[in-house]
Amino acid sequence: MKKSLTLTVAAVAAGLLCGVAIAQNAQPPKAEPNMQKVLDAMATLKPKPIETLSPEEARKQPTPADAVKKLLADAGKSSAPQDGVTMKTMSVQGKGGSFPVHVFTPEGKGPFPVVVYYHGGGFVIADTKVYESSVRALAKGAKAVVVSADYRRAPEHKFPTQTEDAFAAYQWAIAHAKDINGDATRVAVAGESAGGNLATVVSMMARDQKVQMPVHQLLVYPVVNDDMNNESYKKNANAKPLNKPMMAWFFKHYGADPKNPYALPMKATSLKGLPPATVITAEIDPLMTEGKAYADRLQKEGVAVNYKHYTGVTHEFFGMGAVVPKAKEANDFATGELTKAFNAKR
């Protein structure tokens, strides 16, 4: 049964790829000038189309974070991690194996509130290092210990490994909060893209298993649905750095049951009882429509939501605060919302 389901998902993904070819001349919205500089820098790194590669090859491609570093280097500026945050690596035992977590601690006297963070990359590529600027911005801005989980990736580890690892990291952060100078009563979850999916899924798992709930969920352009014919998928079918063929490739390699709400939270029967949420979307992003729809549904089902949409920027902009002012604005908005949630639990 599992084999046939995986084949079905692969076939659907292949069909979606064909649909992309039809719209190959579609132009995404225009990027604002600072964002365009990042896209131009990315182009000079000559990344190959992810959807044409194996997962191993895709993981070796230049990333938007590399483009930011190039821009900084070309301007004679340092790309070293910002001061005020230290990092140490620890290990968490998940089902069937362990995985690393990277603990980022701000300056000052704890115990600090805790954010469990999940990186993006379609469940297949990337790691904490690629998203480190986001993690450090959250640690410094929210004055929180951020536990960034390098969950095991697909296709080597199929769904539900990623959700199980994400939940294990969350439970570990609560159990070991004292060991990392954290406050176990003030633990939030956060993530970008696939990581936004994992953050809200962890909230669902905590609710369903009657585990301590996160005090807040920060969802930055989360993957929550598989409708690849919605408005933003049509507008951004050929956008960079994320487009429709890449999403089909990610879904294919993730291999999840598309009806499972722990794979796609919009498929959940109910979102009631989830923690208050901050949802951020970007205009030049296939995931924009579903992110807004998820925020709307959370609110409709009684979850407090603060939603903000940023125009002229792309998927992955959140970690570009060093070169894109709107990213810094989004960081400040996100950390402000986390701080409010932590202060409410004092």
How far apart are alpha carbons 186 and 214 in whole angstroms?
8
Residue in the structure block whose two tokens are 């480190």: 132
Neighbours of 342 (CB within 10 A): 23
How far apart are alpha carbons 130 and 145 in whole angstroms?
19
Q: Which two tokens stand for residue 11?
A: 């076939």
Instruction: For the chain, list the domains and their CATH numbers.
Output: 2-344 (3.40.50.1820)
Q: Is 91 a catalytic residue?
A: no
Q: Which of 133, 193, 203, 232 is catalytic?
A: 193
Q: What is the pLDDT of residue 8?
A: 37
Q: What is the pLDDT of residue 15?
A: 42
Q: What is the pLDDT of residue 25?
A: 59
Q: What is the pLDDT of residue 262?
A: 98
Q: What is the pLDDT of residue 82?
A: 81
Q: Is 40 a catalytic residue?
A: no
Q: What is the pLDDT of residue 2?
A: 40
Q: What is the pLDDT of residue 332?
A: 98
Residues of the chain with confidence (pLDDT) below 70: 1-25
> For the segment 206-225, what is each residue's pLDDT rounded down to a tens digit?
999 999 999 999 999 999 99
Q: What is the pLDDT of residue 260?
A: 98
Q: What is the pLDDT of residue 4?
A: 37
What are residue 147's DSSP bridge partners?
103, 116
Q: Which of 102, 157, 216, 315 is catalytic?
A: 315
How far apart are alpha carbons 296 and 259 in whole angstroms?
20
Q: Is 285 a catalytic residue?
A: yes
Angle at which helices 161-175 and 194-208 cross, to 10° = 70
CA dihedral (66, 29, 295, 329) in degrees, to 10, reads 50
